[in-house]
Amino acid sequence: MASTDTIASVATAVAAGQGGIAVIRLSGPAAEATGRSVVRCPGNQTWASHRILYGHVIDRTGQKRIDEVLLLLMRAPRSFTGEDVVEIHCHGGVIAVQQVLERVLEEPGVRRALPGEFSQRAVLNGRLDLTRAEAISELVAARSRRAADLAMAGLDGGVQTRISALRERLLDQLTELEARVDFEEDLPPLDGKALLAALQAVRQELLALVADGERGEALRSGLRVALVGRPNVGKSSLLNRLSRRERAIVTDLPGTTRDLLESEIVLEGVPITLLDTAGIRSTKDAVEQLGIARSEEALASADVVLLVVDGHAGWTADDAALMDRIPAGVPRLVVANKSDLPAGLFATPADVRLSALDGSGEEALVQALLQRCGAADADGVLLALNQRQRDLAGLAAEALARSQEVAAQHLPWDFWTIDLREAIRALGEITGEELTEAVLDRVFSRFCIGK
Ligand SMILES: Nc1nc2c(ncn2[C@@H]2O[C@H](COP(=O)(O)OP(=O)(O)OP(=O)(O)O)[C@@H](O)[C@H]2O)c(=O)[nH]1
Ligand SMILES: [Mg+2]
């Protein structure tokens, strides 16, 4: 499936004033010719594959040097995409990189790469399987060490091997069934019970993988944790303590926080977005009302809600009312703050008692939080299917469940093959053994430019 056009893009992150070097990557039939025409290499350096050349990127007139660069040529098929690839290592930042890219794009047959297009070519040319391509994207996107570990497990082929092996087992059963459909008389009778047991064993393994993947999701995409409560209970103080910096303004005036405030932290390897919210109360202040509306949105969209209560003031009717506003099904923790002060008259039904002021109880909060959102259980997860892979594994498991009904109704063998084929197809979409346009689109559209 050779591509006719050559694609180019910046392969490294671009930020002004940052990055000593940046890499521009080209892939396709015109990659080497473009490199030769854009980069002038002094002396008699040879254009050999997998060797580094030194030179300058020259503008179209041949007069002006745009940047001083190193060039790496990797001829097909020994490259990431399996095509001729040229990497131009230029200086970092923004301007030099853009100028070199623009210069490259002036050459005939070269165009900007679409998101994920390098990886897509690598998959189409058999250099990379689908799950490993996804793992690369997940590794780049990882926001914690444990998320990176899970991505590496995928990159090492963990997902590919597991799913391929399950698909093979289904293919074996399909072969048996199809033989019976065609030559029932000539073959020994098929043991329907054993067949069914084999299919259900695969189904159980798929369901376990889906469950592991869901637990791993917390590690991958992180959690949104909203701090809500009455004004002045210490939500902003708690956010600052967990973030280890003075992110939010803290005062003794109720109604200090007016807007949603986010802080990114990592707790025991789990990326967490903390949301500080405006204290919820009835108020005539228009700005505060808007802030409170945002608090309520945060309440609804969070993965976990920390209801912060002033333990010194004690449990109030307003706290109880707030508790009722947390949508059913959203995991919650009641945190009694200000434990450095004597407890109030009405005892707070708190899961954790702490002091945002002196930090006591913080460790208990972290443990309770990870427990509540299931991230603590993700400890033992070694392999985590992503959302796309989980959806397909789920489809396969459903198809296998249907085969149980077919068996119960004693339908002929060819009825069994329908569900079995469906399951095999879904697993093939995970691994890329069944590669369609739609599958490619779904996977690579979520990649970013340069991958
Ligand atoms: N003694 C004590 N005081 C605390 C503690 N946490 C917060 N405070 C004090 O309580 C007051 C309110 O704290 P904030 O963090 O601004 O409270 P908030 O919930 O964000 O308030 P709003 O933004 O108005 O909703 C400040 O004077 C804090 O210093 C604590 O653990 N112990
Ligand atoms: Mg506040």
Q: Answer whether residue 204 is part of any domain.
A: yes
Mean pLDDT for 303-310 is 94
What is the tens place of the pLDDT at every residue in 312-337? Answer: 999 999 999 999 989 888 889 999 99
Residue 435: the pLDDT is: 83
Per residue in 74-111, is it b (16+ CB within 10 Å) or e — as a string?
Answer: bbbeebbbbbbbbbbbbebbeebbeebbebbeebeebe
Other beta carbons within 10 angstroms of residue 335's beta carbon come to: 29
Question: Is the pLDDT higher at 189 or at 337?
Answer: 337
Q: State mean pLDDT over 355-383.
A: 85
- Please state the atom number of ligand 1 nearest to the C-alpha of residue 253: 24
238 CA distance to ligand 1 middle (Å):
8
45 falls within a domain: yes
Confidence of residue 431 (pLDDT cuts 50, 70, 90): very high
341 ligand 1 Cβ < 6 A: yes
Pair 76, 26: CB distance under 8 Å: no
Gap from CA of 237 to ligand 1 centroid (Å): 6
When pLDDT is averaged across residues 119-137 and rounded to a whole number, the result is: 93
Instruction: Clarify whether residues 227 and 367 are in a common domain.
Output: yes
Q: Would you place residue 188 in the very low, low, confident or very high pLDDT band (cuts 50, 70, 90)?
A: confident
Question: Does residue 211 sit in the same domain as residue 227?
Answer: no
Q: Is residue 144, in this structure, part of any structural domain at all?
A: yes
Torsions phi, psi for 427 (to 5 deg): -65, -35
CA of 255 to the centre of ligand 2 (A): 7
| Residue where one domain finishes, among candidates 88, 105, 129 | 129
Among 129, 157, 182, where does a domain finish? 129
Q: Report the C-alpha gap between 66 and 52 in whole angstroms.
A: 19
Looking at the predicted structure, is the pLDDT value of residue 210 above 60?
yes
Asked if pLDDT for residue 138 goes beyond 80, the answer is: yes
Binding site membership of 257 for ligand 1 (Cβ less than 6 Å) = yes
Distance from residue 332's CA to the centre of ligand 2 (Å): 19
Which atom belonging to ligand 1 lies closest to the Cα atom of 229? Answer: 19
pLDDT at 408: 79
Distance 338 CA to ligand 1 centre (A): 8
Same domain, 145 and 111: no
Same domain for 368 and 416, yes or no, is no
For residue 68, give its domain range. 6-129
Residue 146, domain member (yes or no)? yes
Please report whether residue 309 resides in a domain: yes
Q: Is the CB of 279 under 6 A from ligand 1?
A: yes
pLDDT computed for residue 427 by the predictor: 97
DSSP conformational letter for 143 = -
Residues 53 and 123 in one domain: yes
Do 109 and 197 belong together in one domain? Answer: no
Q: What is the tally of structural domains in the chain? A: 3
Using CA positions, which residue lies closest to atom 6 of ligand 1?
234
pLDDT bin (cut points 50, 70, 90) of residue 378 is low
What mean pLDDT do residues 288-308 have? 89
State in Å: Cα 222 to ligand 2 middle.
23
Decide: 357 in ligand 1 pocket, CB within 6 A.
yes
> What pLDDT score was predicted for residue 312?
95
Residue 377, pLDDT score: 66
CA–centroid distance, 304 to ligand 2, in Å, is 18
State yes or no: pLDDT of 376 exceeds 80: no
Q: Are residues 260 and 333 in the same domain?
A: yes
Mean pLDDT, the chain, as a whole number?
90
402 pLDDT band, cuts 50/70/90, is very high
Confidence check: pLDDT of 438 > 90: no
Q: Please check whether residues 212 and 229 belong to one and the same domain.
A: no
Dist. CA 227 → ligand 1 center (Å): 13
Confidence check: pLDDT of 282 > 60:
yes
CATH code of the domain containing 42: 3.30.1360.120
pLDDT in the model for residue 123: 93
Report percent pLDDT > 70 for the chain: 98
Identify which ligand lies nearest to the alpha carbon of 231. Answer: 1
Whether the predicted pLDDT of 356 surpasses 90: yes
Judge if the beta carbon of residue 324 lies within 6 A of ligand 1: no
Which pair of structure tokens corresponds to residue 153? 């497990």
User: Using one digit for the tens of pLDDT, what is the confidence trace for 216-244?
Assistant: 887 787 889 999 999 999 999 999 999 99
Mark whether 267 and 365 lie in a shared domain.
yes
pLDDT-wise least confident of 83-87, 105-109, 245-249: 245-249
Label residue 2 by pLDDT band (50, 70, 90). low
Mean pLDDT to the nearest integer, 151-166 = 93
- 173: Cβ contacts below 8 Å, ≥ 6 apart: 195, 198, 199, 420
Ligand 1 atom nearest 231 alpha carbon: 25
Same-domain pairing of 362 and 287: yes
Asked if residue 22 belongs to a domain, the reply is yes
Residue 28: inside a domain? yes
pLDDT 10s digits, 54-81: 999 999 999 999 999 999 999 999 999 9
Residue of 227, 237, 274, 362 to mutate, ligand 1, most atoms within 8 A of C-beta: 237
Is 378 domain-assigned? Answer: no
273 plus 310 within the same structural domain: yes
Which domain CATH number covers 359? 3.40.50.300
Residue 237 CB less than 6 A away from ligand 1: yes
Tokens representing 99?
């100028």
The response to whether residue 250 sits with its C-beta less than 6 Å from ligand 1 reads yes
Name the residue of 230, 250, 283 whose CB sits within 8 Å of the most ligand 1 atoms, as the mutation to test its pocket.
250
Ligand with minimal distance to 283 CA? 1
In whole angstroms, give the CA distance from residue 131 to residue 162: 11
Task: Please give the helix or strand (H or E) that residue 387 lies within, else none.
Answer: helix 387-408
Q: What is the pLDDT, as a whole number, of residue 434?
A: 87
Report whether residue 252 contacts ligand 1, using a CB cutoff of 6 Å: yes
CATH number of the domain that 390 lies in? 1.20.120.430
Residue type, 17: G
User: In this model, does residue 113 exceed pLDDT 90?
Assistant: yes
Task: Please report how many Cα atoms fall inside a 13 Å half-sphere around the Cα of residue 264, on the Cβ side.
Answer: 5
Among 110, 129, 148, give the residue marking a domain's end: 129
- Asked whether the predicted pLDDT for residue 169 surpasses 90, the reply is yes
Residues 6 or more apart in contact with residue 191 via CB below 8 angstroms: none
What is the pLDDT, as a whole number, of residue 203? 97
pLDDT in tens, 13-36: 887 778 889 999 999 999 999 999
The amino acid at 351: D
Q: Residue 140 has what pLDDT?
A: 87
Please check whether residues 197 and 289 belong to one and the same domain: no
